[in-house]
Structure 1
Amino acid sequence: NIGTIMVGFAILMYGMDNMSAAVKPLADVPEFGNILMAFSNPLMGVLAGTLITAIIQSSSASVGILQALCTTGSVTYGLAIPIIMGQNIGTCITAIMSSVGANKNAKRAAAIHLYFNLIGTVVCLALFYGVNAFVHFDFLTEAVGPANIAVIHSIFNVFTTLLLLPFGDQLVKLAHATVGNHKKSGELQELEVPVLDERFLERPAFACEQAMEATKQMAELTREGFSMSVSLFDNFDEKKVARIRELEDIVDKYEDSVSSYLVKLSSRNLSDSDSRALSMMLHCIGDFERISDHSVSVMAAAEELHTKKIHFSEMGQQELEVFKKAVMEIVGLAFDSFVNDDLTTAQEVEPLEEVMDYINSQVKKRHVERLQKGNCTIEMGFILSDICTNFERVADHCSNIAVYLIQRHESEYDPHAYADVLRREDNKEFQQECDKYRRKYVLP
């Protein structure tokens, strides 16, 4: 690495030396002097520096060119200073181009970069030429050297940083005003799907980390939607209904974005650990998306109860309350284990899922008994069956998530075989965990 750095500097210095030697003859060319005179106007100098830097997309290269031209002795301070200011504006083109196709925050970052240099240039030029109007700096007509170019460039950036550092919040507000949310009146705020930059694919380990962060965001949005749908049974709210539908759409977008990215990443040279993580994410995003779908189904059941102004019997309500608490706990365990990569929490999911299968069958069985006694209606039975089925399937997906997480750290990746081993009768630890949850979630 040290050798590479030294070779890089050697090539840089060699290139600068060659460039300086190439432009030296220009000092004797009258036309060259005439061109430079055209940029004696400060505004033209700023424009020239901006355009040249934007075209070659490198302020370092454009500064190097200016330093090379200084060896002719024809470039004065008065000519160089505005060009240097323009070079700082032109370098923003790189950030602006990188933000194309990126999310709003990336565009705002590019906007802050642009505003930083624009404001710095305006303030510096205004102060400099304002003072010059009274003091009349004599050095403006003197030839500037390469080292002086570097000093001016550094002074500009240090001064601008000190000037704008206290106004960071104002720059953020300005960027938000420039790159707004474009939200229509009365429309719920849209959460952005992170754009996973394909340039990161050249660094598979980093790309895998970015994909994991996006998947964790997807998990949290899914959890929010499901928790909100279950809460509708106790407190129905039309705003929550709209939010649940919105979250389901966003989770779908996450699935499309992340899965496409992971497929592209899978063809790269991944470490064994990253390969396992990728496989886990591909499985889990499907489970998150399905849980989000079940959130909408649960919401629809709650909406039907509210619209028709019907409710379960007292015993049915108590049984459903036990089921709700169990499903919320398993969702919490599965999602916490995934987000925090917590194997201990993940191992608690499967025993609870086993108990929830039992709760599901018992709740349905008890409803049939009440139906036979005339204590309930067929219509309520359909709604209860939908709710129970959705809860049970959510539990299944939570089980998948936990098992995928555990198996990611195992030597062999076979989730189904792992689940079968857990459920063996001689697995006393698993049976003890199941007993714990049976005692916790006892139907009335």
Structure 2
Amino acid sequence: MVPIILASIDWKSTIFAVVGGIGIFLFGINVMSDSLKKIAGSKLKLFVEKTTNTPFKGILVGILLTALIQSSAATSALVVGLVSAGLMTLPQAVGVIFGANIGTTTSSILISLNIGNYSLPIIFVGAILIFFVKRKKVQYFGRVLLGFGMLFFGLNLMGGALEELSTLPQFLNFLQSLGDKPLLGLLVGVLTTAVIQSSSATIGILQQIYSTGTMSLIGATSIVLGDNIGTTVTSVMAASGGSLSAKKTALVHVLFNTIGAILFFIFIKPYTNFIIWISTLLRIDYLNSKFTISLVHVFFNIGTVLILFWFVKQIVWLVNKIIPAKDDIISDDVILDKLLLKSAPDLALENAKKAIVDMGNVTKGMLEYAYRFSFENNEKAYKLAFQSEEILNSLDVKIHNYLVEIGSKDLNKRQMLRVAKDIDTITDLERIGDHLENIIEFFEERKTQKLELNQDAEQEFKHLFEIVRAQLENSLESYFTNNQQLAKAVEEQEFELNKLVKKYRNNHIMRIRDNNKENGTSYYVDILSNLERIGDHTHNIAENVLSEKFSHRVKAIK
């Protein structure tokens, strides 16, 4: 009997239909998800930032966001980036991840809809909108329809082949054995999702198989539970080379899914009996057996959230214990997250802004260290100043490369202008560091040669330092908050600084002429010039706030 069945199957066509169907399904989901993110655009950042101040709100945001963009992985990447950029705390992230797990069940609900026969007309309408309509938003909507149609076309193609496979005794026996060996089903779910990197695809394939009537609900449920563990592999891999915050956020995802899967696996028989009761009550299994798998997925994630919601603080504590914070001064791994480049340009720009804030703080710190060494002879400040200079040089390169990567994306004019201004700003901050290094070296050389600084000259330098300190503070604050009043104040301070530099240079010349006791004449002039140049760079930063024009660097980015 077995040889007759084996001979009756066209293996080549069946295998091609299964793998081709999976490929079209995955491509369709990806196209649909990417297009939905494009439609949402920069509103994602504002939506997530403003509405996640409590875990409960975070759950709602996670549900809505994942249902909207049809990708829990994209939601997780978004959350990781927001935490890394300092725009979201870890407790807030926990809520969004909880919600994302509920939101991702909408994919299985969509798949359970019996609209496969309409997939080709949907693809046709999508193609018409893409190729014959000029408006970008409409084109993106066309891509959503194209992806949606391809998703169901792939499922139909795969479903027909799986029905043929289900006639094989070996395949049938394996599927039926999962009901008696749920642990095997759990492992199948974990491995399948880990390999194809899509929980939606695993659930979609499972729905097709279950609809053939060859698998028990216990076997199907065990695969769903394994799928929820396997899907965390994606976030772990994405965070493995990322920041500390990325790793912590990925660990939250792992803990949520794994704890939930273990709890439901322990009570798998009562749980499947509950699903059977619901399905019978609503006559779902008779009308659409695929939807039964959707119910398994939905109630698992809702149940896990209801259980773990009360332990958010404990989960955060456990995550911080497993991945303790490091005491690094500043690291590009901490402040830059490339996962955001794939999520939304506006979020990546916010991440870059946070990095520039940190770079600005390092610059302000270096100014203080330079002052303390120059006038207080503080050796510790000397070492810290040169450490700061190394960090500034490193951040300049890292942030510049990150901004160039953002600039290579499909940006609008406003976003492109933002990239150009950010590049200008980090360049100015790095140059300020260079001038502070020069000042420190000049003071060090004076002390090495035991050249005394005239008391009047020292007071003049201290006065200029105070003005430059205020300029730097105001220029950075104006840039980060887009405060035009502060930017104008920097312009006034720059005018005052230039007047004083000219005045003090003349004072220096007069002191030399009157008593010829001014030692190290060239050092005084060099220090004066470097302070003046620092003022120029703070003025450049403030000008970027007042200017709405593109920098010359924007062409270099493109």
Normalising TM by the smaller chain, what interval?
0.7 to 0.9
Larger radius of gyration: 1
Counterpart for residue 343 of structure 1: 484
Counterpart for residue 166 of structure 1: 310
Say if 1:70 and 1:146, in contact at 8 Å, map to a contact too. yes
Match of 2:421 among 263, 276, 280: 280
Alignment of 1:97-246 (within 5 A): 97-126=237-266, 128=267, 145-180=289-324, 189-192=329-332, 194-195=335-336, 197=338, 200=341, 210-231=351-372, 240-246=381-387
Q: Does residue 55 of the first structure (1) align with residue 195 of the second (2)?
A: yes
Cα distance in 1 for partners of 2:343, 2:425 equals 24
Report deviation, 1:71.
2.0
Q: Does residue 292 of the first structure (1) align with residue 433 of the second (2)?
A: yes
Say if 1:201 and 1:268, in contact at 8 Å, map to a contact too. no
> TM-score under structure 1 normalisation?
0.75
Cα distance in 1 for partners of 2:271, 2:358 equals 59
Counterpart for residue 29 of structure 1: 168
Q: Measured at CA, do residues 328 and 62 of structure 1 come closer, stay the same or move farther in structure 2, by a change above 3 Å?
A: same
Report deviation, 1:248.
2.5
Say if 2:400 and 2:423, in contact at 8 Å, map to a contact too. yes
Percent of aligned pairs sharing the same letter: 28
Cα distance in 1 for partners of 2:452, 2:519 equals 13
Cα distance in 1 for partners of 2:342, 2:276 equals 51
Alignment of 1:245-394 (within 5 A): 245-266=386-407, 270-299=411-440, 312-370=453-511, 378=519, 384-394=524-534
Q: Deviations over 1:28-82 (max 9, x none)?
A: 3221133235544333222110100111111111011111111232322322222
Report deviation, 1:294.
2.9
2:213 corresponds to which letter in structure 1? Answer: G
Cα distance in 1 for partners of 2:382, 2:539 equals 27
> TM-score under structure 2 normalisation?
0.61
Unaligned runs of 5+ in 2: 1-137, 280-284, 554-558
Q: Measured at CA, do residues 352 and 182 of structure 1 come closer, stay the same or move farther in structure 2, by a change above 3 Å?
A: closer
Report deviation, 1:276.
3.3
Cα distance in 2 for partners of 1:111, 1:136 equals 26
Report deviation, 1:107.
2.5
Counterpart for residue 231 of structure 2: 91
Cα distance in 2 for partners of 1:306, 1:46 equals 72
Report deviation, 1:203.
6.3
Say if 2:371 and 2:465, in contact at 8 Å, map to a contact too. yes
Counterpart for residue 427 of structure 1: none
Cα distance in 2 for partners of 1:138, 1:413 equals 66
| Higher deviation after alignment, 30-39 or 190-199 | 190-199
Q: Does residue 19 of the first structure (1) align with residue 158 of the second (2)?
A: yes
Cα distance in 1 for partners of 2:451, 2:311 equals 57
Q: Measured at CA, do residues 201 and 52 of structure 1 come closer, stay the same or move farther in structure 2, by a change above 3 Å?
A: closer
Q: Deviations over 1:378-418 (max 9, x none)?
A: 25x666555433321211111222234433x15x8699xxx
Q: Deviations over 1:136-181 (max 9, x none)?
A: 9878999984222211211221122222223334433444444455
Q: Deviations over 1:260-309 (max 9, x none)?
A: 24445555554443443333333322111011223344455677899999
Q: Measured at CA, do residues 249 and 122 of structure 1 come closer, stay the same or move farther in structure 2, by a change above 3 Å?
A: farther
Cα distance in 2 for partners of 1:413, 1:18 equals 52
Q: Measured at CA, do residues 172 and 352 of structure 1 come closer, stay the same or move farther in structure 2, by a change above 3 Å?
A: same
Cα distance in 2 for partners of 1:413, 1:79 equals 61
State the secondary structure of the residue aligned to 2:421: helix
Say if 1:252 and 1:289, in contact at 8 Å, map to a contact too. yes
Unaligned runs of 5+ in 1: 416-444
| Higher deviation after alignment, 329-338 or 214-223 | 214-223
Say if 2:192 and 2:230, in contact at 8 Å, map to a contact too. yes
Q: Measured at CA, do residues 4 and 401 of structure 1 come closer, stay the same or move farther in structure 2, by a change above 3 Å?
A: closer
RMSD: 4.0
Report deviation, 1:117.
1.1
Counterpart for residue 435 of structure 1: none
Say if 1:236 and 1:303, in contact at 8 Å, map to a contact too. no
Match of 1:45 among 185, 193, 204: 185
Report deviation, 1:376.
5.6
Report deviation, 1:358.
2.9
State the secondary structure of the residue aligned to 2:332: coil
Say if 2:420 and 2:551, in contact at 8 Å, map to a contact too. no
State the secondary structure of the residue aligned to 1:99: helix
1:156 corresponds to which letter in structure 2? Answer: F
Say if 2:176 and 2:216, in contact at 8 Å, map to a contact too. no
Q: Measured at CA, do residues 390 and 181 of structure 1 come closer, stay the same or move farther in structure 2, by a change above 3 Å?
A: farther
Cα distance in 2 for partners of 1:136, 1:340 equals 53
Cα distance in 2 for partners of 1:55, 1:387 equals 62
| Higher deviation after alignment, 101-110 or 4-13 | 4-13
Say if 1:78 and 1:141, in contact at 8 Å, map to a contact too. no
1:23 corresponds to which letter in structure 2? Answer: L
Say if 1:45 and 1:82, in contact at 8 Å, map to a contact too. yes
Report deviation, 1:88.
0.4
Give the number of aligned pairs. 403
Say if 1:230 and 1:298, in contact at 8 Å, map to a contact too. no
| Higher deviation after alignment, 255-264 or 390-399 | 255-264
Q: Measured at CA, do residues 278 and 366 of structure 1 come closer, stay the same or move farther in structure 2, by a change above 3 Å?
A: same
Report deviation, 1:242.
4.5
More RCO (CA 8 Å, sep 6+): 2
| Higher deviation after alignment, 363-372 or 324-333 | 363-372
